[in-house]
Each structure stands twice: as structure tokens, then as C-alpha cells.
Amino acid sequence: MGQGKTRYWRDIRPGETFETAAITLSTEDILEFAADFDPQPYHLDNGAAAASIFGGLCASGWHVCAVMMRLLTDTFVAARIDLLGSSGVGALRWRKPVFAGDALSSTITVSECLAPVDKSEFGRIVCAVDVSNQQGDSVITLTTTLLIGGGSREAGSDG
Amino acid sequence: MDKTPFIRSRWFEDIPVGEFHVFGSYTFSEKEIVEFGKKYAPQVYHTDPDAALDTVYRGLIASGWHICAVWMRMMVDYMERFATGVQDGRRNGAGVGFENLEWLKPVRPGHTLTFTYEIIDKPDKVIREKWGVIRSRNEAFNQYGDLVFSFVIDILAERAPDV
């Protein structure tokens, strides 16, 4: 039951920043994701990875994106923000490979807050996200548009 | 079997702008949607078919990053099927980044997406002395013909060695 502490789109302001916890990727994590979604030699095999552009076994770039979403989701849920997913990514760059044992954490900075369009139930916030490893090097940076609820149903405004 | 050359088997210089490929189709199962959601996007609309009914999505939907991951798998499988030549993976290029990615419509259990790929540009850049950039527009359509997902990605391809 709501305690009135859930945060909706109108409760978020440009400039607000969130720091996530860290997730460490194991060799097994890297191999499992690669086997399911990105079975290329440099994500599956040490020898091939050593000869590749990355110089060693590294996580799929999409695995890093998925871990970013986990970090973001956990942080927003803990902050009681009514996160309803994402509508897109303006731009993303893979800056450095992620190797087994790397611990990834993220800084999320809100740059824009947009009210619901037409009769949609959610507002949107544009965020700059910087995911870095334990050395503080950025491994991916992106801008993404997140959908945030407006609380209409909780407010009993139906009908 | 028809072996159409593809990125891995060709030098950057030999890959033409305008080339168009259909990677194939993939049907998302409830089990896979929930499994991905629990690992990477634990919100009820990705993890719990019943609780999802009471959300703005009115049912379970795939995480957008799950759609991205399946796109990657479709591309890798397509390359495996159609690439000729180099087998050691040394010429597999990395992704540099992407832009204008949009998740336009929910993807639900049982939905089938068909993934298309079109080379739209070869920016005039040389990366680490031997790589060129192939820019492609990628789209996915559901079984109703609706565009549900699109983005533009830059992927490296190895330049031909100087003679």
C-alpha cells in the first residue's frame, strides 16, 4: 500500500544525480551472456580474445548495457521512483572493454524533465548515464529517456 | 548453400553502402522475457505475468535491452551462416556506439520480430590504424508489420592492408 512516498515525474528535477551500487562481472557471467546473445570468439574463448581488438576475454557490449539497466532499476526502485521503463537511447558509446572481475557502477544525472504528452500516464526524464569500472574509467556513456509514472491511478482519478 | 559474403569476410573497402540484409525472425517466449527481466530489469512488467496486468502495460513485456540482445544474436547467427573465409575471429570488429535507439511498441510473449539491417554510411575515419566504420540502420517489425525497434549503430570493419 502506498505510503505517499512514491516519486512521480513531477517530483524529479533537472540536475538531480543518482549514484548506483556496483556489480562485479565474473567469467561465468560473461560466458553465459555471450552464449545466449553474443557468441563471438572474443566473448567466449580466451585464445581468440587475446588475438582480438580487445586483447582479452571481455563482456558483450550489450551485456554491459543490461548491467547498466540493472544498476539503474535497483537505484530507482530504492528511491521509490515509479520507473516505467525507457523509450529510447539518444546515443551510447562503448568506451572501454569490460573484463572478468571488473566492478561496474554508474552515475545517473537528470538533464530534462518532460510532462506527459496527450493522455499518456507517464512523464519522461532524460538522463545522462556514465558507467565506470573500479579504476574510475568510463566503460559506457549514454543518454536515455526514462518513463516515470504520474500517480493517476494511485490518486484514484479513474472514472 | 548460398554463401553471401558479409562483414567478417570482407575488407572495409569492399562493403557497399546501401547493402540490405534480413537477419531473420525471432519469437519471444514468456520464459525468456521473465528470465532476462529478473536478471537485468527487475520490474513486475518484465518479471511477473499476473502483476504485469495491473501496470500501464497491461501485461508482460520484454525489456528493451532484451530486444537489443536478441538483435545481436540474430546478427551473429546471420554472420555465421553467411560469412566465408576468416575463421579465427581476428577480423571481427567491435561496436563503437549507437544512436537514435527507440523502443516504439511493447514486445509481448509470443510476438515475433523480424530484424533488418541496411548499411547507410561509411564515415571517413580510420580507427587504430586499421579499422573503418560501417554505419547501419537496424529495424525490427512485429508480426503485424509494426515497427517496434530501431537504431543506428557504428561497427568496425578491418581495412585492407596496404600493398
In tens, the pLDDT along B90-118 reads 456 789 999 999 999 999 999 999 999 99
pLDDT band at A146 (very low <50, low <70, confident <90, very high): very high
To probe the interface with A, which of B53, B55, B99, B131 has the most A CB atoms within 10 Å?
A: B99
Q: Which residues of B touch A40 (CB under 8 A)?
A: 76, 89, 92
Question: What are the chain B neighbours of A51 within 8 Å (beta carbons)?
Answer: 88-90
Please judge whether B65 and A122 are an interchain contact, meaning their C-beta atoms are less than 8 angstroms apart. Answer: no
Quick: pLDDT tens for B58-91: 999 999 999 999 999 999 888 877 654 444 444 5
Q: Which residues of A touch B31 (CB under 8 A)?
A: none
Nearest to A97 by CA among A3, A15, A30, A4: A30
Whether the predicted pLDDT of A157 surpasses 80: no
Residue, of B147 and B92, whose pLDDT is higher: B147
- Highest average pLDDT, of A38-52, A126-140, B85-99, comes from A126-140
Q: What is the pLDDT of residue B7?
A: 47
B156: closest chain A residue by CA: A53
B157/A14: higher pLDDT: A14
Q: In angstroms, how far is CA B113 from the centroid of its own chain?
A: 11
Instruction: Read off the pTM.
Output: 0.92
- Which of A75-84, B49-58, B108-117, B125-134 comes out lowest in average pLDDT? B125-134
Residues A20-43, mean pLDDT to the nearest whole number: 94
Would you say residue B29 has pLDDT above 80?
Answer: yes
Going by pLDDT thresholds of 50, 70 and 90, the confidence category of residue A54 is confident
Dist. CA B23–CA A137, nearest whole Å: 34
A46 Cβ neighbours under 8 A, 6+ residues apart: A56, A57
Q: CB A38 to CB B99 under 8 A?
A: no
For domain B7-158, say whether CATH 3.30.70.260 is its number: no
Q: Which residues of A touch B98 (CB under 8 A)?
A: 89, 91-92
Structural element, H or E, at residue B150 = strand B147-158
Q: What is the pLDDT of residue A85?
A: 94
**Whether residue A2 has pLDDT greater than 50:** no
pLDDT band, residue A37 (cuts 50/70/90): very high
**CA angle centred on B110, ends B106 and B113, rounded to 5°:** 60
User: What order do you get walking across the sheet with B20-27 strand by strand?
Assistant: A17-24, A103-114, A122-132, A138-149, A83-94, B95-103, B147-158, B131-141, B112-121, B20-27
Residue B70: phi, psi to the nearest 5?
Answer: -65, -40
Domains of chain A: 9-24+61-149 (3.10.129.10)
Where does chain A show beta strands of DSSP type E?
A: 17-24, 83-94, 103-114, 122-132, 138-149
Residue B21 to residue B13: CA distance in whole angstroms: 18
- What pLDDT, on a 0 to 100 scale, did the predictor assign at position B9? 64
Helix, strand, or coil (residue A13):
coil
Closest by CA position to B64, among listed B148, B6, B135, B146: B148
Best CA proximity match to B91, nearest among A65, A48, A89: A48
Note the pLDDT of residue A93. 98
Is B69's CB within 8 Å of A40's CB?
no
Which of A6, A37, A84 has the highest number of chain B CBs within 10 A, making it the mutation to test binding with B?
A37
Mark out chain B residues that contact chain A at CB-CB < 8 A.
Answer: 36, 39-43, 45, 55-57, 61, 63-66, 68-70, 72-73, 76, 88-90, 92-103, 128, 131, 151, 156
Please say if the pLDDT value at position A71 is more than 70: yes
Name the residue of chain A whose CA is nearest to B41's CA: A70
Domain ranges (residues) in chain B: 7-158
d(CA A83, CA B57): 12
A64 pLDDT above the threshold of 50? yes
How distant is the Cα of A37 from the closest Cα of chain B, in angstroms? 5
Residue B122 C-beta-side C-alpha neighbours within 13 Å? 16
What mean pLDDT, rounded, does chain B reach?
88
Report how far residue B52's alpha carbon sits from residue B43's, in angstroms, rounded to the nearest whole number: 9
Distance CA B137, CA B111 (A): 22
pLDDT at site A154? 46
